[in-house]
Structure formats: structure tokens, C-alpha cells
Structure 1
Amino acid sequence: MSGVLYLIPNTLGEGDADALAAVLPAPVRARAAALGYYIGENAKTTRAFLKKVGTERPIQEIDVRELNVNTPAGEIDRLLAPILAGTDAGLVSEAGCPAVADPGALLVRRAHERGVKVVPFVGPSSILLALMASGLNGQSFAFHGYLPVDAGERAKRLRELEQQSRKIKQTQIFIETPYRNRALLDTLLASCAPSTIVCVAVDLTLASETIVSRAVSDWKKKPAPDLHKRPAIFLLLGV
């Protein structure tokens, strides 16, 4: 009988065991502490996560393997092999929920194909937290990941998303590499109509959390929060 693949959320930023306890329920932390096999994007940061969890066995005895954008497709079955042999495993992301905007989705898909039970656990999702706090349409929304890096292509894509949002009343959600946050906001404000609502949610769940939601015309009148090198979620709704 195969083991179970547990999807274990991580914190959304730096923090200690107290920070972990604030966003992960006790049963999730207990299950995470009991597992002897982990798959994460980076072995070092996965072990740092386990240190905060407080594992039942020494961390050096836990089998930690990597799954990231550089992992060959053929490696997925090798990562799944211990689970098929009966070992329970935890899949953990660098931040937030595994398999959402995360390479772990490939492992989850293969687990389903091989008949492995997949159990998702409750934890912080920056996408949903930002949507909840934005005041934008939570009945219909779409997450687009990263937008094009090229300035012209990025502006074109934002205008397309705004048009789609206005047409079907759908909230559009996207992210950016932290050091390009300000450039993305500037492009948003230059490309979108004055009435379009833009929300920027920064450092979610952290002490420095900042969430601002207002029309483009108001964004241009008021100072924007400091976005430099801070994890952020961007949302827009054409109205």
C-alpha cells in the first residue's frame, strides 16, 4: 500500500517558530513534525522550515529531496518512488501553499496518476489573502502568475487583462519579482483607466503587512507604499 502525499503550507516570509504557529494550525504542525520524507524547492530552506516545525526525529535523519524549475521531468517518478513503497511524504513550498504557482504541481499530478492519496493542509495563501482583503470581486477571479518582463509587452498584457476584467467583471491577479514591483505598479497606473481599481498587498501575514486598494486616479494622487524587494500581490478590477 502506498503512502500519503501531504501538501504542507509554509509561512509567507521570514519568521521563527512563533510566526509558524500563527499561520499553521496545530494539527498541521503535528503532521509536519512526524514525517520522515520531504520534497521541497531547496533542501536548505526546507530544513530551515523543519527546524521551526520542531521535528520528532533529528533533522539530519529526515530524507529531504529537491523539486524545482531545474528538476528534469524524469525525476518526478524517482521522487514519488518512496511514497509508492509506503512512505508518507510532505511537499512544502518556499512560501505559502505548495503546488500553487509552484513546481510541486507536477508531483501532485503524477501522484494522482499513480493512485497516491493526496491530502492538502490549511495554511496561508498570498493569492487568497490578497483577494480577501482587496474588496474586489471574489466571485470571479483569475491568477496569471508573472507578466512579461519587456515593458511594452507588459503594458499590452495589462490592457488586455483590464479589458477582460471590465467585460466579465473578473478580478485579475498577478505577481512580480520583488525588485521590479515599483516598475509594475508604474506600468499599471500608466496603462489602466482612471476608474479601474488596483490593489497591492505587501508582506502578507507579517508585521509589516500593507494592503492598499483604490482607483487608479486616486493612486496617482496619493503616495504608494514602499514596494522595493517586498513580496507583493497585484490585483485589478475594471469598473
Structure 2
Amino acid sequence: MTESSKGTLYVVATPIGNLEDLSPRAAGILESVAVIAAEDTRHTARLLKHLGIECSLLSLHEHNEAGRVGQLAAKLDSGEDVALVSDAGTPLISDPGFVLVRALREGGHRIVPVPGPCALVAALSAAGLPTDRFVFNGFLPAKRGARRSSLETLSERGETLVFYESPHRIRDSLEDIAAVLGDRRVVLARELTKTFETFLDGTAEQLLLLMDQDPDQSRGEFVIMVAGAPPRDIDTASLDGKAILQALLAEGVGVKQAAAVVARLLGGRKKAWYEKALSLRADG
């Protein structure tokens, strides 16, 4: 069978709360496919009922995903289209689907994303924290020791840190963020696109005080966003330009780029550092 005669797997983003956020394209695809692979078929059935769509549903979650690959590949090979959805938002973003998509792509099947709601992106867009670079870490570990260790590992990162969190662990996670990351700015997005959507802004300790005053603020699904580590002051007097050039060149950085970095750190003419870098590279 030629690739063009095979079916397509559509990775379809669904609403994270407000059902009006489902795009017309996504609705059309859900109506047209032969089967929808859903994380929770009961949850997806309610969405389809709201849309007035009748379609065959197949469960696909973390415990059976690998076993579904052959079954869905056979449907695609027979020319049928399949949609993959999670309970809410974009599949594979802290949700099942990676195993299926990887296997089907390796098998030569066509995979088409149908973009739409994503709690991670929605939260960042309204947080007021830097978004040119960020680190998404999914859910923090459930146990305190592992959670603090994970935060320690990220403590020196300069990018905005983003986590998902559940209501029964939100206070514990904020306590650990306060203990490990200190007084950094934290923005907490709760119940995005739903009736009681809120954004809380402050240090982790301040947000815990707000939850003490209003326990409702600890309910719902959360996106935690934490400001990255502030830049450290560099003692340029202690830096060795030759050593820095050697290290950069050893890591595969180009001569021109290495010279530019050292010139920015230590001053001096970029051309002189460029010539020095050329000499070091020639010497091996």
C-alpha cells in the first residue's frame, strides 16, 4: 500500500476548560475520523456529546499505550484516519501519546498536529514572566525529598521554570519552592479557562498566606511558574582569556563566536581575540 493510501493520525488538542476553545478544524476532524484514541473514553464521550458527534472510541492511556500501537497501525494501514486526544489540552504534553506517535512515525505513518489549547502556553501568555526561554518540567515528584532534589537541580537555571501541579500537592510544592528557591517571583495559574480561573502573583510564601486566607485558592488544577535564577556577577579580573578560548574551542564553538564571547567578558578588540583563537586552534 502506498503512503498516500494510508490513513492519517491526527493529534488533536481539546479544551482545557472552556468548550468554545475547540477549533472548527479540530471539531471537523473528530467528526470525520474512523476512531478516536482517548486517554479517558468517558471524558471524551461527554465532549463528543456536547458537539453532537458520534464516533468509535478506543482507550489509550499510560498502562495500555504500547499494546495499542499495532491495533491503530492496522487501522491506518487499511486507509482509516485516527484522532488522538487527551483528557484536556494538547496530547503528549504531560499526557500519553509519545509511545504511539514515535512508533507510528518510525513505521512511516503520517502524523498531523491539530493545534489548540495547552495549559502550559496559556499560563505563560498571561503570567508576565519572561517567555523567550523557559523550562517545562511537568509534574514535580510526589515525595518531598525527591521534589526538593529536583528543584535543587533546577535552581541555577536562568529560564522561567514551569510545572503542573494537582490540588492535593500544591501547598507542599509551594513550601518546597520557598525552601529551595527562596523569594523568587512565582505566578500561579489556577483552573485556566474555567469559571473560577485565577492568577496569583508573589513569592511562594506569600501565595501560601493567600491560600490560608482563602482555601478555595488551593483547589483545582495548577500551572506553577517561577522566575529563573538571577544572573551572577562575574569577576572579570579573575578570568583567563586564553583558558576561556581553549574551553570554548574544545566544546566545538567556532573561532569567531569564541572571540566574541571573550571580548564581551574581558573587553579588548574582538579582532585581537580572534587572532588569538586562530593561533590556539592551530596549536591544537
TM-score norm. by structure 1 comes to 0.84
Counterpart mapping for 1:139-178 below 5 A:
139-164=132-157, 169-178=158-167
Following the alignment from structure 1 to structure 2, what is the Cα–Cα distance between the partners of residues 227 and 148? Answer: 22
Post-superposition offset of 1:217: 6.5
Counterpart mapping for 1:50-199 below 5 A:
50-55=48-53, 59=54, 62-71=55-64, 73-164=66-157, 169-194=158-183, 196-199=184-187
Aligned to 1:223: 210
Following the alignment from structure 2 to structure 1, what is the Cα–Cα distance between the partners of residues 139 and 125? Answer: 20
Query: Which structure has the bigger radius of gyration?
Result: 2
Residue 201 of structure 2 is aligned to residue 213 of structure 1: yes
Post-superposition offset of 1:3: 0.7
Following the alignment from structure 1 to structure 2, what is the Cα–Cα distance between the partners of residues 35 and 25? Answer: 16
Following the alignment from structure 2 to structure 1, what is the Cα–Cα distance between the partners of residues 81 and 111? Answer: 10
Identity of aligned residues (%): 29
Following the alignment from structure 1 to structure 2, what is the Cα–Cα distance between the partners of residues 212 and 100? Answer: 23
RMSD (Å), alpha carbons: 2.0
Decide which structure has greater helix share. 2
Contact residue 76 and residue 82 of structure 2 kept, 8 A: yes
Structure 2 unpaired stretches of 5+ = 231-284
Following the alignment from structure 2 to structure 1, what is the Cα–Cα distance between the partners of residues 204 and 60? Answer: 39
Aligned to 1:34: 32
Deviation readout 1:50-75 (Å, 9 max, x if unpaired) = 112221xxx3xx32111111116243
- Number of aligned residues: 222
Following the alignment from structure 2 to structure 1, what is the Cα–Cα distance between the partners of residues 67 and 207? Answer: 47
Contact residue 36 and residue 57 of structure 2 kept, 8 A: yes
Following the alignment from structure 1 to structure 2, what is the Cα–Cα distance between the partners of residues 72 and 8? Answer: 17
Structure with larger RCO (C-alpha < 8 A, sep 6+): 1
Instruction: Give the direction of change, closer, same or farther, for the CA distance of 1:218–1:42 in structure 2 (3 Å limit).
Output: closer
